[in-house]
Amino acid sequence: MLTLAISSRTLFDLNDSHQIYLDQGIEAYRSHQLAHEDKPLEPGVAFPLVNKLLNIKHPETGDSMVEVVLVSRNNGDTGLRIFNSIEHHSLDISRAVFTNGGSPYDYLSALGVELFLSAHHADVIGAINAGYAAAHLMTRKAAIQMDDQVRVAFDGDAVLFSDESEQIYQSDGLEAFRRNEHDLRNEPLNPGPFSAFLKKLHDLQNMFAPGESPIRTALVTARSAPSHKRVILTLRDWGIRIDEALFLGGQDKAKFLQSFKADIFFEDQLTYVKTASEHTATGHVPYGVTNQ
């Protein structure tokens, strides 16, 4: 199974409640949640992705192939509204960790988590530093779910791959980057924070007959020819097939992600995060030289 840990503020639209917490403090927030305990929360930015993932079933046994665990800085009292909302929306989520203000990433190892999505930036950085695939989602209401296929898009450098090449680009410029990629074109890139998660998706895809997978993946990168070769050979060396590869040569990625119909996009550079998040659930990956 794939195990995903998700924060309450990305699963549901808690912006109004969170604003009460910011403006009036924890006691006002607690009172608000208790007073609205039986009022279901509206779906948040990651709700469509979670709903699709929970509906993936084994092609032979019909068993669930993805588990979603709620991790939240709420306590049990204020968290009851969240569990009531899970029940209202018929989400198959049975495990939760409420930390009462503490950092939930300490529990990721015990939960067996392979992906952590949160609206709390410090928690995401802690998870990344601990070796997990993690992303900070900009909160907003959920997009309309158009179909049942899960479409996941990844940036390349500092997301799927290490930031070794990005470091050269940032320090020495484009020509130095191109020379480096040409010289090392047959040497695989080192894995980045999301390489293991991509491998897990690839393994799930392989359990289905060709053309029948409920998961579709895409690489959406600012790279262009000739630096594309090293990327392709790296994925081949890892034994991973990615469904679509877009080498955009520095073009903005937002419209391409719309064309791919991405349910989520993972990106390390805030410039691309800001434009993509206007249309697509976008996770900022705070890793590598561009985030120092």
What's the pLDDT score for residue 17?
84
Topology classification of domain 2-137: Rossmann fold (3.40.50)
Instruction: Supply the pLDDT for residue 40.
Output: 94
Residue 131: the pLDDT is 93
Beta strand residue intervals within the chain, DSSP E: 2-7, 66-72, 96-98, 115-118, 134-137, 150-154, 215-221, 244-247, 264-267, 282-284
What would the pLDDT profile of 229-268 be if each residue is shown by its tens digit?
A: 999 999 999 999 999 999 998 899 999 999 999 999 999 9
Confidence (pLDDT) at 76: 79
Question: What pLDDT score does 145 carry?
Answer: 76
Q: What does the pLDDT read at residue 27?
A: 86
Domain with CATH 3.40.50.1000 in the chain: 2-137, 150-291
Strand partners, 284: 136, 267
Count the neighbouring beta carbons within 10 Å of the beta carbon of residue 164: 16
* pLDDT at residue number 141: 74
Alpha carbon distance 22, 20 (integer Å): 5
Per-residue pLDDT of the chain (292 residues; tens, 9 = 90+): 899 999 999 999 988 888 888 888 888 888 888 899 999 999 999 999 999 999 999 999 999 999 999 998 888 787 889 999 999 999 999 999 998 888 888 899 999 999 999 999 999 999 999 999 999 998 777 777 778 999 999 999 999 999 999 999 889 988 899 899 889 989 999 999 999 999 999 999 999 998 899 999 999 998 888 888 999 999 999 999 999 999 998 899 999 999 999 999 999 999 999 999 988 999 999 999 989 8
**Distance between CA atoms of residues 254 and 16, nearest Å:** 27
Write out the H or E segment, with its range, that includes residue 259.
helix 254-260
Does residue 226 have a cis bond before it (omega within 30 degrees)? yes
Which positions are annotated as active-site residues? 155
65's tokens: 């192939």
pTM of the model: 0.93
CATH code of the domain occupying 150-291? 3.40.50.1000
Tell which residue, 153, 156, 144, 146, has the closest CA to residue 282.
153
Residue 150 identity:
V
The rounded distance, in Å, linking the Cα atoms of 141 and 124 is 21
**Residues in CB range of 252: below 8 A, 6 or more apart:** 272, 275
Task: Give CA–CA dist 187/56, Å, rounded.
Answer: 36
